[in-house]
Amino acid sequence: MEGRPLDEQELVEQARGGDARAYEVLVRRYQDLAFRTAWVIAGGADAEDAAQEGFVKAWYALPRFRAGSPFRPWLLAIVANEARNRRRSGRRQDDLALRVAEDRPSGDAAPSPEAAALAGEQRRLLLAAVSRLAEPDRQVIACRYFLELSEAEMAAALGCRRGTVKSRLSRALGRLRAALAEQGAGAAASATGLPGGDR
């Protein structure tokens, strides 16, 4: 793309005016986010379907989009809704079905192979603990830390009020902490400073 990339508002305005090319740029820009959000909510095979359907519905709903308001939460609400509906009609997603990369050593300084292996193991344990949380807890944690959504975006993706996002996250973190403690992962947790079995 030559020149500066069009900013979001310009693209949304053009798309609202019926410019499918502008919309395609928006889809390309947010497809990672939409797909991953759908993945967190619906998981597996439904995620692609939900994200695609969400983008199509968002296009038809664009006339209703309030000009000047942020596009991402609006889009996420539609995509997440699609994802939830697919998940409801299908089986419940059992875990996040995500994996931890094997190739990244831990920390900034070059660690010993043993330390790297240990750190990798700790991440896997933490991911496993997140995966075992109840669905609402898992989703709020994934939205915040794995998708790095803002509060408004989390509210949109989770279909809850913005005011409740913080408390919901805090409760989920509490339960994750308890689960880690229960896991008897004191050893694993303490090595990274994870509050595990210190209560």
Partner 1 sequence: MSRRELDLEAALADLAADLRFPPTPDLAAAVTARLEEGPARNPARRRPPARRWPAWMAGWRRLAVAGLAVLLLAAAVLVASPGTREAVARRLGLRGIGVRVGGPPPPTVTTAPGARLDLGLGERVTLGEARRRAAFPVLVPTAAGFDRPDAVFVNGAVPPGGRVDLVYRARPGLPASSFTDAGLLITEFRGQPEPEFLKKVTGAGMVRSVTVGGEPGFFFSGEPHFFSYQDTTGQFREEQTRLAGNTLIWQRGDLTLRLEGDLPMAEAVRIAESMR
**Angle, vertex CA 92, rays to CA 142 and CA 126, nearest 5:** 35
- CA 4, 8, 14 angle in degrees (round to 5)? 95
Determine the longest span between alpha carbons in the chain, in angstroms.
58
Minimum separation from the CB atom of position 7 to partner 1 (A): 18
Residue 93 vs 130, nearer CB to partner 1: 130
Quote the CA–CA distance of 81 and 85 in Å, as a whole number. Answer: 6
What are the distances in angstroms from CA 155 to CA 91, 120, 132, 145?
Answer: 24, 31, 22, 14
Minimal distance, residue 3 CB to partner 1, in Å: 20
* Residue placing its CB nearer to partner 1 in the complex, 3 or 17: 17
- Comparing CB distances to partner 1, the nearer of 39 and 71 is 39
Token digits of residue 53: 């359907």
Q: Which is nearer to partner 1, 7 or 165 (CB)?
A: 165
**CB 189, min distance to partner 1, A:** 8
Closest to partner 1 by CB, 3 or 195: 195
Residue 15 C-beta: closest distance to partner 1, Å: 8
Q: With CA atoms as reference, report the closest residue to 187 among 177, 197, 175.
A: 197
Minimal distance in Å, beta carbon 122 to partner 1?
8
